[in-house]
Amino acid sequence: MPFTIRLHRVIKAPPERVFRAFTDAAAMCKWLPPHGFTGTMHHMDARPGGSWRMSFTNLSAGGQHSFGGEYLDFEPGAKLRYTSRFDDPNLPGDMITTVELQAVFCGTEMQVTQEGIPDLIPSQACYLGWQESLTLLTQLVEPDIPNG
């Protein structure tokens, strides 16, 4: 039975920068792969109705898994909702990830909900992977580097 996870963070960066980290191919490759993985973006058309496709490669074992989907909701600086589907037939179904961003006095409050996660993926592994990815996301977006 597919399951849902929910994550919450407050990040010291403006919502527009956090949103950009979800819609820029190079940024996604830098922060989304959890520890031990590299990421390759094969296609990204970040816009309403657009699509994306990427893969993660396990640096230790060399195994790779690919996935991608479509953008369902696209409100720059506020909300992003997209589908994800693994190429692996053992991980069936569409997942839907919703990212909600709200400006707060110290940066951005972010809520992430991921629905439809295949039951073959242990929920603890999913939470662990997201925690690692969100740490990398925070490290990417928090520095304010002028004209760099």
Domains, the chain, ranges and CATH?
A: 3-141 (3.30.530.20)
Instruction: Please give the pLDDT value at position 147.
Output: 83
Q: 74-83: which pairs have CB atoms within 8 A and are 24 or more residues apart?
A: 74/46, 74/47, 74/48, 74/50, 76/16, 76/19, 77/14, 77/15, 77/16, 77/19, 77/101, 78/15, 78/19, 78/102, 80/19, 80/22, 80/23, 82/52
Res 91: pLDDT: 87
pTM (whole model) above 0.85? yes
Q: Which of 121, 117, 110, 116 is nearest to 31 (CA)?
A: 110
pLDDT computed for residue 109 by the predictor? 98
Task: Give the integer Cα–Cα distance in Å for 74 and 118.
Answer: 25
Counting as low any pLDDT under 50, the low residues of the chain are none
